[in-house]
Structure 1
Amino acid sequence: MQSGVYHKRLMSELRQIQSSTLSNVHLKTYEGLDTWVITIHGAEKTLYAGEEFTLRLKFPSNYPFEAPEAIFVDKVPVHPHVYSNGHICLSILYQQWSPALTAQTLCLSILSMLSSCVTKERPTGDLNYVTVARSPKDAIWNFDGKSLGDKSARINAWIN
């Protein structure tokens, strides 16, 4: 069951993102309060300029104390931190999440991650990861750039 904090916070964030003047991040649709679909437009003068991506945010019942699940759907950007199944390797989605962050700041962080990319390529171990990964929340992410493991598959690590 969702708490009053969950409902109040998501209603506030929904209003914030709906009224936002950001040119690269737009709320496309939402299904209740727990699932939002966001359109992210690649920033000008970046590798992703002119491209459009769809991001699905699923909010857990203990949001904002736990990060939403963020997955690219439909067209998945080719990026060193984005797996071909749409899972995103970004610390604020996991260990570095803070209740001070919002859906909008999360989307801006993902846009920034895309904008700072210098080469379009998949992460090392992409095929192995997408073969076993069901949810990014089930993965054990290591942000030192050396390994990534998935608990459900009992795979300890892939080394870069």
Structure 2
Amino acid sequence: MGDEPRWLTGAEMGTWLNLTQILMLMPTALDRQLRDEASLPHTHYHILSALSSSADRSMRMTELARQAGTTTTRLSHAVASLEQRGWVVRKACPTDKRGQIAHLTDAGFAVLAAAAPGHVAEVRRLIFDHLTEEDVARLGAITAKIVPVLNDRS
């Protein structure tokens, strides 16, 4: 027989259940607000936002997929939809013939700028309006410990 599993303590189980509720409910809540107010799925908002924060509003598709927490195939479909709207253009990577770079257009930036105030208000309403400054600092420290583990795909 193998080693006994390290079962969660009562406190860990309660925290885990709260976290899973957040992970399950948050994407739907953010998506609903963005679709209702900006006719924009949260996934597309996230892509536009990531591009707007990068140098020259451009990013390699592989890096954009990593930041969006998705596969390159799924990202490619989303970017194709954004391209059809004129919000993103794809270009060949000058240093890697197989690579592509996504670039946020001025039209895409305008859509993002119009959607951002409502999105930020919803994030505040759902999360930060319920936390003290100390809570925010603790949450930041906690998530900073977890994100690298999730990004480690080795």
For normalisation by structure 1, the TM-score amounts to 0.24
Tell which has more relative contact order, 1 or 2 (C-alpha 8 A, sep 6+).
2
Structure whose CA Rg is larger? 2
- Higher fraction of strand: 1
For normalisation by structure 2, the TM-score amounts to 0.24
Q: Which has the higher helix share?
A: 2
